[in-house]
Amino acid sequence: MDTKEFVRICSRISLLTQLGLSVVTPPILLTLLALFLQRRFGVGDWVLLVAILTGVFSGIMSVFSFVRRENAREVKRLTKAGTESAPDGTNDEKETDDR
């Protein structure tokens, strides 16, 4: 395995780790905050439910944002790689019109 392949694999592992943490962290932190509020101020059980639902929603939105950002980076990288292979702006692939 060469260095480029190793770096690519490590990059993908770090992206998966970041994705997992962005899903799990908001519900856990908001649940802990709700438990603190219940013990400290004596608010009802509804705060815990709202915190869990808000945390899950926040995690899902974080995933959508993360995937959208990574897709944009990948498209930009592929577009850049495509233009670098043909300096005059033409690609080796045939362009087809799907009409």
- Whole-number Å distance between alpha carbons of 56 and 79: 35
Residue 91's pLDDT band (cuts 50, 70, 90): low
The pLDDT tens digits of the residues spanning 21-78 come to 999 999 999 999 999 999 999 988 999 999 999 999 999 999 999 999 989 999 998 9
Instruction: Tell me what pLDDT residue 88 has.
Output: 52
DSSP 8-class letter at 1: -
pTM: 0.71
Residue 83's pLDDT band (cuts 50, 70, 90): confident
Domain borders along the chain are 3-84
Instruction: Tell me what pLDDT residue 89 has.
Output: 52
Q: In residues, how long is the chain?
A: 99
